[in-house]
Amino acid sequence: MDYLVQPAPARSASVTVPGDKSVSHRALMLGSIADGNTHIRGFLAGEDCLATLAACAAMGVEIDRHDATTITVHGVGRDGLEAPSAALDLGNSGTAMRLMCGLLAGQGFDSTLTGDASLTGRPMGRVITPLEQMGARVDSRDGKPPLTVRGGRALDAVEYRLPMASAQVKSCVLLAGLYARGQTRVLEPAVTRDHTERMLRTMGVSLDVGGGWVRLDGGQSLTGTAIRVPADLSSAAFVMLAALLAPDADVLIEGVGINPTRTGVIDILLSMGADIAIERRREAGAEPVADIRVRSSRLRGLDVDPALVSLAIDEFPVLFVAAAAAEGRTRFSGLAELRVKESDRIAAMASGLRALGITVDETPDGASIAGGRFTGGRVESHHDHRIAMAFSVAASVADAPVTIADVDNVETSFPGFDVLMRSIGLDLQTRRPDAA
């Protein structure tokens, strides 16, 4: 499936985006191993999270779907998961695979994790290494999926210093730490999203966080709870970008999670001159939530602080487009992790921006982007949902129509993206590649 986008900027509107993907994944996994029921509202019914739901169900967890976004997980307890009868297919989700590795390392059965062509091409050595230090065994294809996690092995706590800031690796080690003897300690080189720590606490697990360390004693049990999933800031970022690039728009995005470990995209856009206001701050369970108001803005190029990278790791496709529309030059560095996302996001964004007439100098860990105007043309998404959505927004202010190829994976994180974008004024249509 492709997107065909005719130039048509965003207009003023009030919208709500789907639930947070990171929180939805964790709610399913932790709810599955909790004692009692976990009631989830605002669940993201995207393909990635539905793959996690199917994997939990395949291990004997009863899950009731009351509607698309309301779910009850009947927890089986810390040691109650059952061996699945087949490989667990996690689709396109690197989050699901890396966190599941930690969850399954302490089980009494073998399990195999696989996924689509994109996921099975992504490196998993960053979770295999600490798990094997804890005594787990994970068989792989040269560090890539399918992964077979061998069960029945006693785990010992580890002190693990992350070589690169990664919430997925941190969470994997902490989940394995629930099944390990002793206290598991993880040191982060930079702050990363802390949804796992927040949710573990709400389920009764004691953690010690401070000085870059997270410490967790093994053997603790979880208690089911009620979880309200906030709207996903990563999804909201595309709406924010559309409003910023439009000539005269005032867009309110309601009920968005503003966890301070996730708000780097807002901080960077503010530094570029964006008119963004955070309104009606409140709490949704363990997560801070607010409405985000965004008005059309003239953006300025800048050198992006590498210290903000871990706080905006999923939003750099948005920020690359913002840089391309800004006055002057914007320089990004410290983004090496983007090379091993759903695509090589640095290369994919650089190639796509050049196809739309933007000058980009690519570096090993970033890029230098000279602001300009987007021409029409064709952009390859490389089957990466965030690349596809970012270029869809760029196309709304281009000088001519833009085709974005291979957008099927948008449904993994933002179901209904095309419908929502049309509701705020974008002329975005889906079509088959062979359509005239």
- Nearest Cα to 343, choosing from 290, 385, 287? 385
The single residue of 291, 314, 384, 418 carrying the catalytic annotation is 314
- Structure tokens of 283? 């709490």
Q: What SS3 class is residue 91?
A: coil
- Structure tokens of 122? 């992504």
d(CA 78, CA 293): 42
**Angle 78-165-337 from CA coordinates, rounded to 5°:** 115
d(CA 401, CA 428): 10
The answer to whether 332 and 291 are in contact (CB under 8 A) is no
- Structure tokens of 26? 């964790």
Whether the ω angle into residue 18 lies within 30 degrees of 0, i.e. cis, is: no
- Structure tokens of 311? 């706080």
Give the relative orientation of helices 47-58 and 21-32 as an angle to the nearest 10 degrees. Answer: 10
Residue 338, phi then psi, degrees to nearest 5: -65, -15
Question: Which residues on neighbouring strands pair with residue 208, listed in sequence order?
Answer: 215
CA atoms within 13 A on the CB side of 99: 24
135 burial level (CB within 10 Å; 0-12, 13-18, 19+): middle
Evaluate the CA torsion angle 265, 267, 273, 278 in order and state its sign: positive
292 burial level (CB within 10 Å; 0-12, 13-18, 19+): buried
- One-character DSSP codes across 32-70: HTEEEEEEEES---SHHHHHHHHHHHHTT-EEEEEETTE
291 given a catalytic annotation:
no
| DSSP category for residue 119 | G
The answer to whether 279 and 256 are in contact (CB under 8 A) is no
Catalytic positions are 314
